[in-house]
Amino acid sequence: MQKIPSFTINHELLKRGIYVSRKDYVGDDVITTFDIRMKEPNREPALSPSAIHTIEHLAATFLRNHPLWKERIIYWGPMGCLTGNYLLVRGDINSHDILPLMKETFEWIANFEGDVPGASPRDCGNYLLMNLPMAKWEAKKYLDEVLNSAKDDNLEYPKES
């Protein structure tokens, strides 16, 4: 079987950042998949399942209610490796285009107060797997250390050396 594109990225060189993972065409629309990489793969501890689950609930809620982007948001969800999230957006866009939205999203998560949206037995299949304080901490760390000072090597996949 052929290796899927996301397994061809050299994870030993990958930094935290925002990357265009792929672009797919559905009819006349382009769907851009972003790799929202919060942890350096295999070099730092992954996100805890409870933190990334909470981030998922908060980011998905924020993005699907965003006044400018809500009609373009297709999906937000965690990576199985727990080092980041995938964001699917309608449109042919790049990492630089989405950076302001990601800053806004992670700032909102870092400052969130109250009940996590959808964190109830009626609304979620594993509502007890939540950790708001850790989600806020991880969001602030990513915002402060990566998003607020993003360089090209945080916005473009590494080239093989």
Q: For residue range 38-58, what is the model confidence (pLDDT) as tens digits?
A: 999 999 999 999 999 999 999
Quote the crossing angle between the two packed helices 95-110 and 132-145, to the nearest 10°: 140
CATH class of 5-150: alpha beta
The whole-angstrom separation of Cα 143 and Cα 15 is 14
DSSP state of 82: S
pTM, rounded to two decimals: 0.94
Q: For residue range 115-155, what is the model confidence (pLDDT) as tens digits?
A: 999 999 999 999 999 999 999 999 999 999 999 999 999 99
The whole-angstrom separation of Cα 14 and Cα 116 is 31
Q: Are 130 and 53 in contact (CB under 8 A)?
A: yes
Higher per-residue pLDDT: 2 or 85? 85
Q: Are 72 and 90 in contact (CB under 8 A)?
A: yes
